Structure 1
Amino acid sequence: MINVLYIEDEPQIAQWLTTELAQHYMVYSYPSYEVYEQSGDQFIPDVAVLDIMLPGLDGFSIARKLKRTYDELPIILLSARAMLDDKLEGLSIADDYVTKPFQPAEIMARIEVLLRRFNKMDEVLTLHHISINTKDFEVRNQENGEEIMLTQTQTNLLRYFTNHLNQILTKEQLYEAVWQEPYMDGDKTLMVHIRYLREKIEKNPSAPLIIETIRGIGYRVRA
């Protein structure tokens, strides 16, 4: 399980984002660095999400301290400051800078990018009853241990989904990424291949749990 260190002093924002992130990660949330230090919680963070305006040490200072302790720790700074100078200062210390307001899906997407960049992603990804070895992209049914054989197109589709976990992907995005050509409105190619892929990886393709349909938009795979 990925450990997320989250420091935010605004209770409503902290609760809102913690609730969303906790669906996918182990989240350790604190209102300040001082509370985090005094908590005595024993964990090694895989990623840190820090508000900049905090009581006591600000996010910039916390990021510097964390980088000295964990030199391979990816850090995302959150701030209402949208000025270029603030962003440049933040990015000189941390690995990403997100201005408020934001949506949880954006933060999760940025976390996933950083986890991949810092090689912190698990080699085996579990999605309901299937497991995916992300190195060689071997897909197995965990209930019987059997390998699920996919075509190259199905592999490319599933790989794109796993590279964009928790993100809602449009039909256009998926088609153009996998087929490397512009999507034509009304083309059923993607829908057909999604159906074939579901027949191989879903327990019940008629009620899919892995590849969700987002009506009117496209699809999503949740971690």
Structure 2
Amino acid sequence: MKNCILYIEDDIEVGDLVTRDLQNRGYTIKWLTCPDQYLDYIKNIDIVILDIMMPGLDGFTIGQRIKMSNPDLPIVFLSARTAIEDKLKGLEYAEDFITKPFYPDELAARIEILLRRFDKTSKKIIQLKHLEIDLKVNSILNTETNTEIILTEKQHKIFLYFLKHPNQILTKEQIYEYIWDQEYFEGDKTLMVHIRYLRQKIERDPQNPEIIETIRGIGYRVKQ
């Protein structure tokens, strides 16, 4: 299954159409017809789709409350309201506003764009050689010894940067400037030292690394 979507829509016909279409695309959907229950389902959600005109709490109120408590959770309004004032109000705290009627392909495309923008398309569990990486709880397990691998803050940040760019050759400059937020100077050994210690923790044989590959003269790569 792909990402998990919380969908709040009291129109049964529209709700059924959207739910079935997104499920067919591989998403896990939690569809609520009663907006008052949303707090019971907000945990472990990757994106929220909201109608505006509903009994009880309206979509604007729910969207605003969700964004205040979950600023990194993208929100899409899916509404029959087409007035520019409604769109502008919704976009104060939502990332997108789609008017009904709509094309399912367009909704799916916009969902994918937001998931990528908010970095929610990554797999939650990554199997990499003898490692099992759980991105939700930031844990790394050596499956051969059944022991957890503990990284320092910088080591963890470097490793996650590799995982976010699988199979991509990353230059020393790219990595250094992302991790330390300052310009890289040729000859600086800081990154090399951190990667050496990182390899000592995650590689079977740090002298012959299988996970973090050195691309001579350029940088490093992690293959998945």
Q: Where does residue 165 of structure 2 map in the other structure?
A: 135
- Where 1:64 maps in the other structure, the secondary structure is helix
C-alpha displacement of 1:49: 0.2
State TM-score, norm by structure 1. Answer: 0.53
The one-letter amino acid paired with 1:51 is D
Q: Compared with structure 1, are the counterparts of its residues 82 and 64 closer, same or farther at alpha carbon in structure 2 (3 Å cutoff)?
A: same
Q: 1:31 matched to which residue of 2?
A: 33
The one-character-per-residue Cα deviations of 1:105-162 (angstroms, maximum 9, x if unpaired) are 11110110001111111159xxxxxxxx872347xxxxxxxxxxxxxxxxxxxxxxxx
CA distance in 2, matches of 1:97, 1:41: 22
Residue 7 of structure 2 contacts residue 31 of structure 2 at CA under 8 Å; is this kept in 1?
Answer: yes
Q: Which amino acid aligns with 2:94?
A: A
Name the SS for the 2:92 alignment partner: helix
Equivalent residue number for residue 80 of structure 2: 80
Return 5+ residue gaps in structure 1 as ranges.
125-132, 139-223
Q: Is the 8 A contact 2:10 2:34 kept in 1?
A: yes
Say if 2:79 and 2:98, in contact at 8 Å, map to a contact too: yes
Q: Indicate the residue corresponding to 2:158 in structure 1.
A: none
Partner amino acid, structure 2, of 1:15: D
Q: Percent identity?
A: 41
| Alpha-carbon distance in 1 for matches of 2:50, 2:167 | 33
1:5 is matched with 6
Rounded Cα–Cα distance in structure 2 between residues aligned with 1:19 and 1:33: 20
Q: Structure 1 residues 42, 134: closer, same or farther in 2, change over 3 A? A: closer
Corresponding position of 1:44:
44
Q: Which has the larger radius of gyration?
A: 2
Given that 2:74 and 2:94 are in contact with CA atoms closer than 8 Å, whether structure 1 keeps it comes out as yes
1:148-183 Cα distance to aligned partner (Å, 9 max, x none)? xxxxxxxxxxxxxxxxxxxxxxxxxxxxxxxxxxxx
In the aligned structure 2, how far is the partner of 1:80 from the partner of 1:90? 13
Q: Matched residue pairs, number?
A: 130
Closer, same or farther in 2 for the Cα pair 1:87/1:43, shift >3 Å?
Answer: same
Aligned to 2:22: 21
Task: Output one character per residue of 1:30-59: Cα deviation in whole Å (capped at 9) or x when no partner.
Answer: 01221334xx45842100000011111111
| Alignment-derived partner of residue 204 in structure 2 | none
CA contact (8 A) 1:7 1:50 kept: yes
Do the aligned partners of residues 119 and 80 (structure 1) sit closer, same or farther apart at CA in structure 2, a change above 3 Å counting?
Answer: same
- SS, match of residue 101 in structure 2: coil
Change (3 A) 1:84 1:61: same
Hey, what's the Cα distance between the residues in 2 that align with 1:43 and 1:123? 17
Distance 1:123 1:134, change over 3 A: farther
The answer on whether the counterparts of 2:76 and 2:98 sit within 8 Å (CA) in structure 1 is: yes
Return 5+ residue gaps in structure 2 as ranges: 125-162, 169-224
> Does residue 62 of structure 1 match 2:62?
yes
Deviation at 1:82, TM superposition (A): 1.3
Whole-angstrom distance in 2 between the partners of 1:90 and 1:64: 9
Over the aligned positions, Cα root-mean-square deviation in angstroms equals 2.4
